[in-house]
Homo-oligomer: A and B are copies of this chain.
């Protein structure tokens, strides 16, 4: 069980940032109408508004480099908490931006997971 939680967390993180960096519009497939995103303190609810926010970020290209992934089962409902730290390289920027992000993944009836909670913060030194 424990190992499976770690595997799901890592697979999700790979998938999420791969989509973010290569096909950002497809991230909408990971959210649902109940999903919540807090992005640098801005609260956004629902797959449509979250998708708009992510697609309207002021950069077209990005490259996420993952430093750490910590996963835990969230409760008896089969949910998984995933905590990520890493850095974000944007085009034309000399320095990478450090970030932390947490996801609460909830199982779907189809055997997959969706993002119920998503909180993103840049780490200012």
- What is the predominant secondary structure among interface residues of chain A facing chain B? strand
Q: How many copies does the complex hold?
A: 2
What is the interface size of chain A, counting residues whose CB is below 8 A from a CB of the partner? 29
A55-70 to B contact mask, C-beta < 8 Å, 1/0: 0000000000001101
Asked if A32 CB lies within 8 Å of chain B CBs, one says no
The reply to whether B123 and A100 contact each other, CB–CB distance below 8 Å, is: yes
Q: Chain B's nearest CB lies how many Å from the CB of A95?
A: 10
The reply to whether A72 and B36 contact each other, CB–CB distance below 8 Å, is: yes
A92-125 to B contact mask, C-beta < 8 Å, 1/0: 0000001010101010000000001101010111
- Could you name 6 residue pairs across A and B whose Cβ atoms are closer than 8 Å? A67-B124, A68-B121, A81-B104, A81-B119, A100-B121, A102-B102
